[in-house]
Amino acid sequence: MRGNALWVLAHPDQSSLSSHLRNVGIAALREKGWRVVESDLYRMRWDPLLVTDDGSADVRAEQRKLADADLVILQFPLWWYGVPAILKGWFDRVFESGFAYDVPDPETGRFLKYGRGGLIGKRALVVVTAGDRHASLGPRGISGHIDDVLWPILHGTLWYTGMQPLRPHLITEADDVDQQTVGSVERSLIDRLDHVAEEEPISYLPMEDEFYDHSIRLHDHISPGVEGNAAHQHCAV
Protein backbone atom coordinates (compact mmCIF):
# COMPACT_ATOMS: atom_id res chain seq x y z
CA MET A 1 0.00 0.00 0.00
CA ARG A 2 1.46 3.33 -1.15
CA GLY A 3 -1.01 5.67 0.54
CA ASN A 4 -3.78 7.95 -0.72
CA ALA A 5 -3.72 9.85 -3.97
CA LEU A 6 -6.06 12.58 -5.21
CA TRP A 7 -6.24 13.04 -9.00
CA VAL A 8 -7.62 16.41 -10.09
CA LEU A 9 -8.46 16.85 -13.79
CA ALA A 10 -9.53 20.06 -15.52
CA HIS A 11 -10.64 19.27 -19.06
CA PRO A 12 -14.10 19.79 -20.57
CA ASP A 13 -14.01 16.85 -22.99
CA GLN A 14 -14.36 13.27 -21.74
CA SER A 15 -13.07 11.98 -25.10
CA SER A 16 -9.89 14.11 -24.95
CA LEU A 17 -6.29 12.94 -24.67
CA SER A 18 -6.31 14.46 -21.17
CA SER A 19 -9.26 12.33 -20.05
CA HIS A 20 -7.64 9.26 -21.57
CA LEU A 21 -4.36 9.91 -19.78
CA ARG A 22 -6.25 10.42 -16.53
CA ASN A 23 -7.72 6.92 -16.92
CA VAL A 24 -4.29 5.49 -17.73
CA GLY A 25 -2.66 7.30 -14.81
CA ILE A 26 -5.22 6.31 -12.21
CA ALA A 27 -5.05 2.68 -13.32
CA ALA A 28 -1.24 2.79 -13.05
CA LEU A 29 -1.35 4.22 -9.53
CA ARG A 30 -3.88 1.60 -8.39
CA GLU A 31 -1.74 -1.13 -9.92
CA LYS A 32 1.08 0.12 -7.68
CA GLY A 33 -1.08 0.01 -4.57
CA TRP A 34 -2.27 3.61 -4.24
CA ARG A 35 -5.84 4.30 -3.13
CA VAL A 36 -7.02 6.93 -5.62
CA VAL A 37 -9.89 9.36 -5.38
CA GLU A 38 -10.72 11.77 -8.13
CA SER A 39 -11.94 15.32 -8.74
CA ASP A 40 -12.96 15.61 -12.38
CA LEU A 41 -13.80 19.28 -12.14
CA TYR A 42 -15.85 19.68 -15.32
CA ARG A 43 -17.80 16.48 -14.67
CA MET A 44 -18.46 17.66 -11.09
CA ARG A 45 -19.62 21.05 -12.47
CA TRP A 46 -17.21 22.66 -10.03
CA ASP A 47 -18.08 26.30 -9.30
CA PRO A 48 -14.83 28.28 -9.67
CA LEU A 49 -16.06 31.64 -8.36
CA LEU A 50 -14.79 32.75 -4.98
CA VAL A 51 -17.26 35.10 -3.36
CA THR A 52 -16.75 37.10 -0.18
CA ASP A 53 -18.47 34.61 2.11
CA ASP A 54 -17.95 30.97 1.20
CA GLY A 55 -17.77 27.90 3.42
CA SER A 56 -19.87 25.79 1.06
CA ALA A 57 -20.30 22.03 1.26
CA ASP A 58 -18.46 21.53 -2.05
CA VAL A 59 -15.39 23.29 -0.62
CA ARG A 60 -15.48 21.15 2.53
CA ALA A 61 -15.67 17.97 0.44
CA GLU A 62 -12.58 18.93 -1.57
CA GLN A 63 -10.72 19.89 1.60
CA ARG A 64 -11.43 16.44 3.06
CA LYS A 65 -10.04 14.78 -0.08
CA LEU A 66 -6.92 16.98 0.12
CA ALA A 67 -6.48 16.39 3.85
CA ASP A 68 -6.51 12.62 3.26
CA ALA A 69 -4.09 12.70 0.31
CA ASP A 70 -0.39 11.84 0.49
CA LEU A 71 -0.03 12.56 -3.23
CA VAL A 72 -1.92 15.11 -5.33
CA ILE A 73 -1.91 14.97 -9.13
CA LEU A 74 -3.03 18.12 -10.91
CA GLN A 75 -3.72 17.44 -14.58
CA PHE A 76 -4.70 20.12 -17.07
CA PRO A 77 -4.14 21.48 -20.56
CA LEU A 78 -1.98 24.63 -20.58
CA TRP A 79 -4.38 27.44 -21.51
CA TRP A 80 -2.81 30.88 -21.85
CA TYR A 81 0.25 29.49 -20.07
CA GLY A 82 -1.74 28.73 -16.96
CA VAL A 83 -4.43 26.47 -15.56
CA PRO A 84 -7.99 26.50 -16.93
CA ALA A 85 -10.30 28.81 -14.97
CA ILE A 86 -12.07 25.86 -13.37
CA LEU A 87 -8.83 24.68 -11.74
CA LYS A 88 -7.81 28.22 -10.75
CA GLY A 89 -11.16 28.45 -9.01
CA TRP A 90 -10.47 25.18 -7.23
CA PHE A 91 -7.34 26.76 -5.73
CA ASP A 92 -9.14 30.07 -5.06
CA ARG A 93 -11.94 28.38 -3.10
CA VAL A 94 -10.49 25.18 -1.59
CA PHE A 95 -7.11 26.58 -0.44
CA GLU A 96 -8.71 28.67 2.29
CA SER A 97 -7.04 30.56 5.09
CA GLY A 98 -6.96 28.30 8.16
CA PHE A 99 -6.88 25.22 5.98
CA ALA A 100 -4.10 25.57 3.40
CA TYR A 101 -2.28 28.58 4.92
CA ASP A 102 -2.44 30.76 8.03
CA VAL A 103 -2.30 27.55 10.01
CA PRO A 104 -0.15 27.47 13.17
CA ASP A 105 2.99 25.42 12.58
CA PRO A 106 2.97 22.30 14.78
CA GLU A 107 6.57 22.94 15.92
CA THR A 108 6.71 26.71 16.39
CA GLY A 109 3.08 27.86 16.63
CA ARG A 110 3.94 30.51 13.99
CA PHE A 111 1.96 31.03 10.79
CA LEU A 112 4.55 29.83 8.32
CA LYS A 113 4.41 29.53 4.54
CA TYR A 114 6.68 28.38 1.69
CA GLY A 115 7.65 24.90 2.78
CA ARG A 116 5.29 24.98 5.77
CA GLY A 117 1.53 25.37 5.83
CA GLY A 118 -1.69 23.44 6.06
CA LEU A 119 -0.77 20.95 3.34
CA ILE A 120 2.73 20.24 4.62
CA GLY A 121 4.48 17.17 3.32
CA LYS A 122 2.01 16.17 0.61
CA ARG A 123 3.66 15.43 -2.73
CA ALA A 124 2.25 17.21 -5.77
CA LEU A 125 2.75 16.32 -9.43
CA VAL A 126 1.54 18.60 -12.20
CA VAL A 127 0.71 16.72 -15.43
CA VAL A 128 0.34 19.28 -18.19
CA THR A 129 -0.42 19.00 -21.89
CA ALA A 130 0.67 21.81 -24.21
CA GLY A 131 0.40 22.47 -27.92
CA ASP A 132 3.90 23.99 -27.98
CA ARG A 133 6.94 22.19 -29.30
CA HIS A 134 9.28 20.97 -26.56
CA ALA A 135 12.03 23.53 -27.15
CA SER A 136 9.53 26.41 -26.93
CA LEU A 137 8.99 25.57 -23.26
CA GLY A 138 12.68 24.88 -22.58
CA PRO A 139 15.26 27.12 -20.89
CA ARG A 140 15.53 29.55 -23.83
CA GLY A 141 12.23 28.78 -25.54
CA ILE A 142 9.96 31.62 -26.58
CA SER A 143 7.15 30.62 -24.21
CA GLY A 144 9.45 30.56 -21.20
CA HIS A 145 10.82 27.53 -19.36
CA ILE A 146 7.99 25.35 -18.10
CA ASP A 147 9.27 25.73 -14.51
CA ASP A 148 8.98 29.52 -14.86
CA VAL A 149 5.62 29.37 -16.63
CA LEU A 150 4.26 27.23 -13.78
CA TRP A 151 6.01 29.22 -11.01
CA PRO A 152 2.73 30.65 -9.64
CA ILE A 153 1.44 27.07 -9.19
CA LEU A 154 4.61 25.17 -8.26
CA HIS A 155 6.04 27.76 -5.88
CA GLY A 156 3.23 30.25 -5.24
CA THR A 157 0.52 27.68 -4.51
CA LEU A 158 1.93 24.20 -3.82
CA TRP A 159 5.17 25.14 -2.03
CA TYR A 160 3.43 28.11 -0.39
CA THR A 161 1.06 25.72 1.41
CA GLY A 162 3.83 23.31 2.41
CA MET A 163 3.43 20.77 -0.37
CA GLN A 164 6.41 19.11 -2.07
CA PRO A 165 6.10 19.91 -5.78
CA LEU A 166 7.82 17.49 -8.18
CA ARG A 167 9.18 18.57 -11.55
CA PRO A 168 6.16 18.98 -13.84
CA HIS A 169 5.32 16.12 -16.20
CA LEU A 170 5.10 17.99 -19.49
CA ILE A 171 3.55 16.54 -22.66
CA THR A 172 4.28 18.84 -25.61
CA GLU A 173 2.81 18.88 -29.12
CA ALA A 174 -0.27 17.44 -27.44
CA ASP A 175 -2.54 18.43 -30.32
CA ASP A 176 -0.52 16.12 -32.59
CA VAL A 177 -0.66 12.97 -30.44
CA ASP A 178 -2.38 10.29 -32.51
CA GLN A 179 -2.94 6.53 -32.47
CA GLN A 180 0.70 6.02 -33.51
CA THR A 181 2.25 8.15 -30.77
CA VAL A 182 -0.19 7.83 -27.86
CA GLY A 183 1.53 4.65 -26.65
CA SER A 184 4.79 6.42 -25.89
CA VAL A 185 2.95 9.25 -24.10
CA GLU A 186 1.14 6.65 -21.96
CA ARG A 187 4.35 4.77 -21.17
CA SER A 188 6.17 7.94 -20.18
CA LEU A 189 3.38 8.84 -17.75
CA ILE A 190 3.21 5.32 -16.31
CA ASP A 191 7.02 5.30 -15.81
CA ARG A 192 6.83 8.62 -14.04
CA LEU A 193 4.04 7.46 -11.72
CA ASP A 194 5.87 4.21 -10.93
CA HIS A 195 8.51 6.18 -9.02
CA VAL A 196 6.45 9.13 -7.84
CA ALA A 197 6.81 8.22 -4.15
CA GLU A 198 10.62 8.16 -4.28
CA GLU A 199 11.38 11.08 -6.60
CA GLU A 200 13.22 14.16 -5.25
CA PRO A 201 10.91 17.20 -5.11
CA ILE A 202 12.03 20.58 -6.48
CA SER A 203 14.48 21.94 -3.91
CA TYR A 204 12.86 25.33 -3.24
CA LEU A 205 14.29 27.21 -0.29
CA PRO A 206 12.02 27.31 2.78
CA MET A 207 11.03 30.62 4.36
CA GLU A 208 13.63 30.54 7.10
CA ASP A 209 15.92 33.20 8.54
CA GLU A 210 18.88 31.30 7.14
CA PHE A 211 17.79 32.17 3.59
CA TYR A 212 15.48 35.21 3.73
CA ASP A 213 15.69 38.58 5.50
CA HIS A 214 12.82 40.35 7.30
CA SER A 215 11.36 41.74 4.07
CA ILE A 216 11.34 38.09 2.86
CA ARG A 217 14.01 38.76 0.27
CA LEU A 218 17.01 36.47 -0.19
CA HIS A 219 20.07 37.39 1.83
CA ASP A 220 22.83 38.76 -0.40
CA HIS A 221 25.00 35.68 0.21
CA ILE A 222 22.27 33.23 -0.87
CA SER A 223 22.36 32.55 -4.63
CA PRO A 224 24.62 35.63 -4.88
CA GLY A 225 23.96 37.79 -7.93
CA VAL A 226 21.18 35.52 -9.21
CA GLU A 227 17.80 37.04 -10.02
CA GLY A 228 14.67 35.31 -11.21
CA ASN A 229 12.95 32.20 -9.95
CA ALA A 230 16.05 30.01 -10.10
CA ALA A 231 17.58 31.95 -7.18
CA HIS A 232 15.06 30.31 -4.83
CA GLN A 233 16.38 26.76 -5.22
CA HIS A 234 19.01 24.95 -3.18
CA CYS A 235 21.00 24.08 -6.29
CA ALA A 236 21.62 27.80 -6.94
CA VAL A 237 23.12 28.35 -3.46
Site residues for a copy of itself per CB under 8 A: 12-13, 42, 48-52, 79-86, 88-89, 91-92, 95, 114, 132-136, 138-145, 148-149, 151-153, 155-157, 160, 207, 212, 215-218, 223, 226-232
Q: d(Cα 222, Cα 191) in Å, to the nearest integer? A: 35
Q: d(Cα 94, Cα 46) in Å, to the nearest integer? A: 11
Q: d(Cα 27, Cα 20) in Å, to the nearest integer? A: 11
The answer to whether 20 and 50 are in contact (CB under 8 A) is no
110 by DSSP, 3-state: which? Answer: coil
Q: Which is nearer to a copy of itself, 173 or 194 (CB)?
A: 173
Q: Which is nearer to a copy of itself, 107 or 220 (CB)?
A: 220
* Cβ 214 to a copy of itself shortest distance, Å: 9
- First vs last C-alpha separation in the chain: 37
* Cβ 80 to a copy of itself shortest distance, Å: 5
Q: Which is nearer to a copy of itself, 41 or 127 (CB)?
A: 41
The answer to whether 175 and 133 are in contact (CB under 8 A) is no
* Cβ 190 to a copy of itself shortest distance, Å: 27
Beta-bridge partner residues of 187: none
* Cβ 110 to a copy of itself shortest distance, Å: 15
Q: Which is nearer to a copy of itself, 88 or 123 (CB)?
A: 88
Q: d(Cα 206, Cα 66) in Å, to the nearest integer? A: 22
Q: d(Cα 135, Cα 215) in Å, to the nearest integer? A: 36
Phi and psi at residue 148, to the nearest 5°: -80, -40
* Cβ 197 to a copy of itself shortest distance, Å: 26
Q: Which is nearer to a copy of itself, 180 or 215 (CB)?
A: 215
Q: Which is nearer to a copy of itself, 4 or 229 (CB)?
A: 229
